Amino acid sequence: MNILVINGPNLNMLGIREPEIYGKATYADLLEQIKAEAERLGVEVSFVQSNSEGDLVDAIQCAYGRQDGIIINPAAYTHTSIALLDAVKAVGIPTIEVHLSDPDTREEFRKTSYIREACIATVKGRGFSGYLDALRLLVESCRE
Ligand code: DQA
């Protein structure tokens, strides 16, 4: 089973950006934790991070026929991008939306998620653990 983990804009700045919201651990730390959990579960995991919306659309399209599941934190594009929603709908791959914080309890503009309706689940407000939860959920749903 192959799982693609996609992170959107500014998530490469984890550890530096707003540590009071996102914590002090880095993007590299996040990848290590996900890799360890993937190994435990016996699944292959690969990663894409980009600050560009088009690159994220390309990554989703590229997953077609190659990946069994997608975990995506679209970051700020969550609240703006119909293109990401359409890409997830287009490939039809089971996808889970993840957020480190809980955008629904923050500013009003963070309460809209365009991608949510195309996802099988949303995990939010659980920090790095949210990605591990999402991985377990995807593996369970793919093995059903
Ligand atoms: C985020 C929440 C978004 O509102 C924000 O733009 C991010 C990160 C999160 O993981 O909590 O960049 O997706």
Q: Is the pLDDT of residue 144 over 80?
A: no
Question: pLDDT band for position 142 (50/70/90)?
Answer: confident
* Residue tagged active-site, from 27, 79, 99, 131: 99
* Residue tagged active-site, from 22, 77, 114, 131: 22
In this structure, which amino acid lies at residue 14?
A: L
H/E element holding 46?
A: strand 44-49
Q: Of ligand 1's atoms, which has the minimum distance to the CA of residue 76?
A: 6
pTM: 0.97
Dump pLDDT digits (tens) for 119-135. 999 999 999 999 999 99
C-beta of residue 122 within 8 angstroms of C-beta of residue 95: no
Ligand 1 contact, 71 CB (< 6 A): no
For ligand 1, atom 6, name the residue with the nearest CA.
Answer: 76
Dump pLDDT digits (tens) for 26-40. 999 999 999 999 999
The confidence score (pLDDT) of residue 25 equals 98
Q: Kindly give the distance from the C-alpha atom of residue 98 to the centroid of ligand 1, in angstroms, as a whole number.
A: 9
Greater model confidence, 130 or 144: 130
Indicate the top mutation candidate among 27, 73, 113, 116 to test ligand 1's pocket, ranked by most ligand atoms within 8 A of CB: 73
Residues 53 and 84: their CA atoms lie apart, in Å, by: 8
The confidence score (pLDDT) of residue 75 equals 98
Domains in the chain with CATH codes:
2-143 (3.40.50.9100)
Q: Of ligand 1's atoms, which has the minimum distance to the CA of residue 124?
A: 11
Dump pLDDT digits (tens) for 45-66. 999 999 999 999 999 999 999 9
Active site residue 22: yes
**Rounded alpha-carbon distances, angstroms, from residue 95 to 42, 67, 68, 140:** 19, 10, 9, 13
H/E element holding 137?
A: helix 129-143
Ligand 1 contact, 130 CB (< 6 A): no
Q: Is the pLDDT of residue 67 over 80?
A: yes
